Amino acid sequence: MTRRTFNPGRALAWVAMTVVIVVTVFPFWWMIRTALTPAADIYTDNASLLPEHPTMINFLRVLGLTSEAEARAAGGSGAHLNFAGYLWNSIVYCGLIAGVQTLFCAMAGYAFARLRFPGRDLVFAIVIAALMVPPIFTLLPNFILVKDLGWMNTMAGMVAPTILMTPFAVFFLRQFFLSLPRDVEEAAILDGNGPWGIFWRIALPMSRGPLITIGLTTTVWAWKDYLWPLLVGRDEENRLVTVALGVFLQQSPNTQPDWTGLMAASTLSVLPVLLLLVFVGKRLVQSLNFTGSK
């Protein structure tokens, strides 16, 4: 039996990876722990990794499943969230941005990779240059445009600035389309397919991995978006989960924030994205190889 020798480099790599994992996961764990902690124990029960008296009352009162008297007795402010409505708004917001943006970026990426037209390289250079423009610089022009269009406090105004494309997604998909074998496309041309048919019947099916990657990253980005939905979608009927968390914090009449309720609401807001990552994680890992295969 061969005896394995000690490898300092491998051991150091495992230690570094463990530290990174702990630093990444610990804030989420502490969020869940705080959500399960009674409000009365928030400042006394802070020495252990597990709550001494775990309870679900914080989740119930945030969802409005308790009376105001019960919520106040549990140490809360009496405020609650229309979580189902805010969740639906966030799903619609993310779904529109992720779906439409992924489709249009795929079209643009394929056009830059395969089509020949005057000014193609110049236009692509301008798109890449847009990566260096901080989003805060376009905030005011977008706000004025949406206001002039009469789209304030509407879902159309919330999704308008980012629904069509982002420079990174166009660049990412263009690089993948450049790697597709031309033999397959030439065979499709012989079968009578034009650029549009090749894109829909050949390029898109072979690009499922990268498309899922762009769709997933766009969904996560849109789900945690806060500033733009706060400016444009302030009405109750268009409010997103992230904006609702800030409103919930401001509703506390106490001198101290309702930390247990806020952490319970934050945990509920994270669950949909976590479930999405779990269900598409396998395809996401496969897409890192840029193969697009199952």
Each residue's pLDDT tens digit, 165-210: 899 999 999 999 998 888 888 888 888 888 899 999 889 988 888 8
Where do runs of H (alpha helix) occur along the chain? Answer: 8-35, 57-62, 68-73, 83-114, 120-129, 139-148, 155-159, 167-179, 182-190, 195-198, 208-223, 227-232, 241-250, 259-287
Global pTM reads 0.84
Cα–Cα dist 226/7, whole Å: 46
Residue 238, pLDDT > 70, answer yes
* pLDDT confidence tier of residue 293, bands split at 50, 70 and 90: very low
Residue 294 has pLDDT above 50, yes or no: no
Domain with residues 83-238, CATH architecture: Orthogonal Bundle (1.10)
The overall average pLDDT reported for the chain is 85
pLDDT of residue 254: 58
* Rounded-to-integer distance, Cα 142 and Cα 20, Å: 38
- For residue range 89-141, what is the model confidence (pLDDT) as tens digits? 999 999 999 999 999 999 999 999 999 999 999 999 999 998 898 888 999 99
Distance CA 141, CA 199 (A): 34
> pLDDT, tens digit, for every residue of 9-26?
888 999 999 999 999 999
**Among the listed residues 210, 194, 280, the one whose alpha carbon sits nearest the alpha carbon of residue 202:** 194
Q: C-alpha distances in angstroms, 234 versus 54, 227, 247, 279?
A: 35, 11, 10, 32
Domain chopping of the chain, boundaries: 83-238
User: Which percentage of the chain shows pLDDT scores above 70?
Assistant: 89
- Residue whose entry in the numeric block shows the structure tokens 């779990």: 278
CB 204 within 8 A of CB 106: yes
pLDDT at 190: 85
Which of 51-65, 149-163, 221-235 is the least confident region? 51-65
The confidence score (pLDDT) of residue 292 equals 44
What pLDDT, on a 0 to 100 scale, did the predictor assign at position 76?
65
